[in-house]
Chain A
C-alpha cells in the first residue's frame, strides 16, 4: 500500500464501500458455492448481495472517486504531469501554482481548484473534459512520451481565463483597485483581454507553461510576501510592469 492508499483506507466512505462490497461478495459466493434452491430466502439474499449492497458500494465509491480526482496526487498519476505537480509541491518554488498550493484553501487540491469550471455544471463539465485527457494518455502517444518532450509538444487546450482567479480575487476590493496596474487594466482583466496568469503580470502559472509556445523560460520571481500598498506615482504618470503587484493569495 502506498501513502495515498493508507490515507484512503482511513476515509469512512472507503471503509463503507469496501465493507458493502465484502458483504455482497460473501452472499454471492455463498450462492455460487452452496448452490441453494431458488426459493424466496435465496432470492432475498441475492437481492441484498446483487442490488442493495453493490448500490451502496457504488454510491460511496462514486463519492470517493470524485474526491480522489480533485487531489494533486491523482493528476500526478500520469507521468507527464509530474513536472507540474512536483513544482506545485516544491516549497522552494515561486511559481504561481506552487504559491497557491501553499495556501490552505488550495493545498493538495490546487490543480483542480484552479482548473475546474465554476458554472452550475462546472464540476460535470470539468470531469467530462478530463476524460479527453484519459483518452489522449492511453490511446495516443502521450502515455509513452518522455516528460521533457511532452512539455514541448503539448499546451493547454484553450487560453486560461481569469474567471477561476476572480472567484477569490474578485477585482472589487479597495486593495486590488489601489494597485495601479490593476486600476488601469481593470476592464481588460474582467473581460479576459489581459490574463492574470500571463507573463508580465502574475504568470506563467507553471515554470514551463510557455515551452510549447516556444517562449523563453524566465518565470517572474515573486519571492516573499506580496506588498499591496500602492507604489509611489511616477513623475511621468506611466504604468508599472512589475509582476509582483498585489492580487496574489
Chain B
C-alpha cells in the first residue's frame, strides 16, 4: 500500500472518530430518544469503522516494514 493511500485511510478514520465522539457527547447533553438511539447504534458503528481503518493501516505498515528489511547476510564458513 502506498504511503499516500495509507495517510488517506488514516485521515478518514480520524474524521470518523470525531463524528462518533460528537454523536456520543450530543446524546448525553440532549438525551432524547432519537439522539440516544443514534449515538448507541450509528455513533458506535462509525467509531468501530474508524478503529478498523486505523488497525488496517498500522498492520499493513508493519507488514510492509518487515518485508522491506533485507535479510541478514549469511556468515560464510571457511572451507577446509
Pick the residue among A8, A43, A49 that contacts B17 (CB under 8 A).
A49
Judge whether A77 and B32 touch: CB under 8 Å. Answer: yes
B28 at the A interface (CB under 8 A): yes
Q: Mark B45-57, 1 if CB is under 8 A from A, else 0.
A: 0010011001001
Judge whether B30 and A43 touch: CB under 8 Å. Answer: no
Interface of A is mostly: helix
What number of residue pairs across chains A and B have CB atoms under 8 A from each other? 100
Known: A21-B25, A38-B61, A50-B14. A58 touches B54 (CB 8 A): no
Total interface residues on B, CB under 8 Å, equals: 34
Interface of B is mostly: helix
Chain A residue at minimum C-beta to C-beta distance from B24: A61
A14 at the B interface (CB under 8 A): yes
B residues whose Cβ falls under 8 Å from a Cβ of A: 3, 6-7, 10-11, 13-15, 17-18, 20-21, 24-25, 27-34, 36-37, 39-40, 44, 47, 50-51, 54, 57-58, 61
A54-B17, A77-B31 given; name 4 further pairs at CB < 8 Å.
Answer: A9-B29, A38-B3, A64-B28, A77-B32
